[in-house]
Structure 1
């Protein structure tokens, strides 16, 4: 990934969502939201004279992974390198979307964890990385990787822009989190962060937690929040590159 500037003809943001989570959640809102996104970020329609003037942004392509990701550890582990290493597709940023609890909270995750995955996936399998690490030693996929990895995005700046741009649903509903939950959401986030770290590539991605539930109103809100999150990521990065933020 190269530098981000308004002169770039086009930026690409990868977006993923998960499939059903057992019988409790046959419809996963993360995929419903992801699959509803347009191919390109729409023009900024917000005209607020009290808000700071945003930088000029390049065109932003939204590349949604074409199917919901199965809530399965091995599926995720095998998929992540393919998401990032396609020689025919340049990914500038990524947003992994996943479902949290029923509380009406939308959270940007700052970091992800390597260890502590004790919950079985939808196919009844544990991750089993502690045993795998002891057996494989230095050949283990995450050998020498830190227990936590943090995104390279300026999440505090992204959050500030995002709150300014998002529907006014109460600031307590839009949060930054340091605990993605040590399940599949945490796992895919760490998998991407570790994959990029091992290749010494910028870790320009976020995990976005959305509440459970798939009523039309919540899906419409989730879609708008993701679009504004993508805009906020690009605006933050363009601002860092062109020197408008120090």
Structure 2
């Protein structure tokens, strides 16, 4: 294994409700075909729409791959753009999952903060990707919806001290194809990595001068 390579994990969700084919997993599989360049080891994983599975799977992905960044992708029936989520929320989980379960506490992490922001500046990512002429509209949101998407994001943000991202995609064909969504994810994640690199460089420079 080449240790100079950085590892990035990207997850999509399995089917639920009327989403018998989940656009998020299709998009992630398209991204896998495209890759993130030779410097990045890309690992993808399909996440079942179940709270309890998320609680064990997310930590295991961090342990197994030690990623620089983990990006979760989910579908939103209300989305018409590719949406970058700024934060995950701890409370308000009342919706039942695929095994008709919801957490008794209705929260992700008992005693955790109400809201955790990603370390990535989603507005910056949005601006940069929008300026690149990708042909896919990208927007930013502060509410990931209090279902498995939000639950997964919060769990990941909590474990990674903010080194996570969440992207909502519209259902397939409304208006984008799986290939479009894969290209959009590639561009978005490359910008995220670029921003993380710049932040790292700033920190090193500051350390150097003090």
Aligned residue for 1:239, secondary structure, equals helix
Q: Which has the higher helix share?
A: 2
Partner of 1:14: 9
1:72 to 25, 44, 50: 50
Q: How does 1:3-152 map to 2 (within 5 A)?
A: 9-22=4-17, 24-36=18-30, 37-38=32-33, 40-42=35-37, 59-65=39-45, 68-86=46-64, 89-130=65-106, 142-152=109-119
The Cα of 1:77 is off from its aligned counterpart by: 0.9
**Is the contact between residue 80 and residue 174 of structure 2 (CA under 8 Å) also seen in structure 1?**
no
Aligned residue for 1:149, secondary structure, equals strand
TM-score, normalised by the number of residues in structure 1: 0.74
Aligned residue for 1:17, secondary structure, equals strand
TM-score, normalised by the number of residues in structure 2: 0.86
The Cα of 1:241 is off from its aligned counterpart by: 2.7
**Is the contact between residue 38 and residue 62 of structure 1 (CA under 8 Å) also seen in structure 2?**
no
**Is the contact between residue 80 and residue 192 of structure 1 (CA under 8 Å) also seen in structure 2?**
yes
**Is the contact between residue 71 and residue 121 of structure 1 (CA under 8 Å) also seen in structure 2?**
yes
Q: Aligned pair count?
A: 202
Partner of 2:127: 160
Q: Distance between the aligned counterparts of 1:149 and 1:72, measured in 2?
A: 21
Q: Compare 118-127 and 175-184 and name the one that shifted more.
A: 118-127
Q: Distance between the aligned counterparts of 2:34 and 2:53, measured in 1?
A: 25
Q: Distance between the aligned counterparts of 1:120 and 1:90, measured in 2?
A: 31
The Cα of 1:142 is off from its aligned counterpart by: 2.2
Partner of 1:49: none
Q: Distance between the aligned counterparts of 1:238 and 1:160, measured in 2?
A: 17
Q: Is 1:205 paired with 2:164?
A: yes
Q: Compare 210-219 and 25-34 and name the one that shifted more.
A: 210-219
Q: Which has the higher strand share?
A: 2
Unaligned regions of 5+ residues in structure 1, if any?
1-7, 43-57, 134-140, 198-202
**Is the contact between residue 76 and residue 168 of structure 2 (CA under 8 Å) also seen in structure 1?**
yes
Q: Distance between the aligned counterparts of 2:33 and 2:123, measured in 1?
A: 26
Q: Distance between the aligned counterparts of 1:92 and 1:190, measured in 2?
A: 17
Q: Distance between the aligned counterparts of 1:80 and 1:12, measured in 2?
A: 15
Q: Compare 142-151 and 112-121 and name the one that shifted more.
A: 142-151
- Two-structure CA RMSD over aligned residues (Å): 2.6
Q: Distance between the aligned counterparts of 2:77 and 2:112, measured in 1?
A: 29
The Cα of 1:214 is off from its aligned counterpart by: 5.5
The Cα of 1:185 is off from its aligned counterpart by: 0.3
